[in-house]
Amino acid sequence: MILTTPFHERTSALNETGLWNHWAGHLSANRFQISDKFEYFAVRNAAGIFDTSPLFKYRISGADAERFLSGILARDVRACPPNAAQYTTWLDERGFVLEDGVIQRRGPDEYLLTSAEPNYSYLADRVGRLGVAIEDVSLGIGALAIQGPRSRDLLSRLVPSVEQLPFFGITTGSIGSRPVTVSRTGYTGDLGYEIWVDTPDAIAVWDALWDSVDGYGVLPYGLAALRMLRIEAGLLLLPVDFGNSRFAFNDAHRSTPIELGWSWMFKGLADDDGRPFIGRSALLKEMATKSSRWRMAGLVVDWEDYDRVYQEAGLIPPKEHTPIHEDWMVYDDDRQRVGYATSFMYSPILQRHVALARVRPELAKPGTRVFLEFTVDHRYQQVAAHVARLPLYNPERKMA
């Protein structure tokens, strides 16, 4: 049966649409009121609150927790001190991505890993003789993201240590007299935080948070706004922009972390202490031989060319902010197929059509001209675009 989140009693009262999405087995609001774009702007201009409780969450603890995770996760978790978090990924032995997620180091020997899909057996089956306990705490912890330029000021009134919390830092405090953990993380590419709370305390925390932001232009936002925000932020979505290698039927549906643009996670890997982790040798080989098939990049559509193809057809050029999660073909100057986009939208803040796309590595340099294929008047039309660095929208406040 479909589950509801620990905040459902409150979010359902706010959801005026009567509609719910299913996300990770939970009811999750697509939007709370008629306009997802209005919710999107609340996040970019004030702050929004998103119920991110449906994520899978695993508590990994014990004397060998760091050793265990440093062998499972491809990014070096040893570089993550207590009270910090890392965006990370885990691979198969061929160097293909299984999943991505955020690992919080809540103490020297205690971690919380979040992921989009279930991973319990994958983790538990690889413990061996190490002193590690793995617990699925998915339903025991509720999570709220508060994101946007006002988030720091608003949240630090409740949890003062938030004021100085660095990007990907973790702190604790209390909201509504209930203990919470706050991480400076999110899925919007903006200044923002996530609040982690034990399920029994969820409603009390919601009420205290909601009351405290009254009058500050804060809106709850749903999945529709989230999908817009994350494309601008260049944050990938499973299974839209990549698939889990474990369940892929062929390599066309697999990606390496280098192909997904995560090479920054592995700077210095070739010269490290030889930390063993799943996928290491394949990853090193890919980096040494430059055998990556793709590189994830942003695409920004040329506005003049876009307007031209529609105007020539007698149409008003559509500027639809709702993301489309489909394959869009990418061509080079010689009109050879050189990649594909997986997420496409009109970005209200960039005032351009943008996409997340894979292109051949040699075309990944920002500014490279490519062509994106549209259907106009039921015919394929190729429209000029240029490759852009991710994130496409990256306000200073995000990390300041």
| Cα 372 versus chain centre, distance | 24
Minimal distance, residue 391 CB to another protein, in Å: 14
**Which tokens is 352 given?**
């351009």
**How many angstroms separate the CA atoms of 122 and 164, rounded?**
36
Minimal distance, residue 191 CB to another protein, in Å: 15
Query: Between residues 153 and 251, which has the closer beta carbon with respect to another protein?
Result: 153
**Which tokens is 12 given?**
């359902």
Exposed/middle/buried for 125, CB within 10 Å: 0-12, 13-18, 19+? exposed
Query: Between residues 143 and 219, which has the closer beta carbon with respect to another protein?
Result: 219
A 10 A CB-CB count for 263 gives: 17
**Which tokens is 70 given?**
């440093």
Query: Between residues 263 and 394, which has the closer beta carbon with respect to another protein?
Result: 394
Triad 60, 51, 75: Cα angle to 5°: 35
**Which tokens is 261 given?**
């643009």
Query: Between residues 318 and 366, which has the closer beta carbon with respect to another protein?
Result: 318
Minimal distance, residue 66 CB to another protein, in Å: 43
Minimal distance, residue 48 CB to another protein, in Å: 12
Query: Between residues 201 and 232, which has the closer beta carbon with respect to another protein?
Result: 232
Minimal distance, residue 351 CB to another protein, in Å: 5
How many Cα neighbours within 13 Å face the side chain of 192? 28
* Strands 47-51 vs 141-147: parallel, antiparallel or unpaired: antiparallel
Minimal distance, residue 99 CB to another protein, in Å: 33
Query: Between residues 179 and 217, which has the closer beta carbon with respect to another protein?
Result: 217
One-letter identity of residue 360: R
Query: Between residues 149 and 173, which has the closer beta carbon with respect to another protein?
Result: 149
The binding site for another protein (CB under 8 A) comprises 33-35, 37-38, 41, 44-46, 150, 214-217, 303-304, 314, 316-321, 346, 348-352
**Which tokens is 199 given?**
């399920």
One-letter identity of residue 21: N
Helix (H) or strand (E) holding 379: strand 379-388
Query: Between residues 178 and 321, which has the closer beta carbon with respect to another protein?
Result: 321
**How many angstroms separate the CA atoms of 33 and 62, rounded?**
45
Q: Which residue has 């440093």 as its token pair? A: 70
Minimal distance, residue 149 CB to another protein, in Å: 9
Map residue 144 onto helix, strand or coil: strand
Q: Tell me the Ramachandran region of residue 148: left when phi exceeds 0, alpha when psi lies from -120 to 50, beta otherwise.
A: left
Minimal distance, residue 234 CB to another protein, in Å: 16
Query: Between residues 150 and 152, which has the closer beta carbon with respect to another protein?
Result: 150
Residues 6+ positions from 40 with CB-CB distance below 8 Å: 221, 225, 228, 229, 321, 348
Minimal distance, residue 166 CB to another protein, in Å: 25
**How many angstroms separate the CA atoms of 41 and 322, rounded?**
14
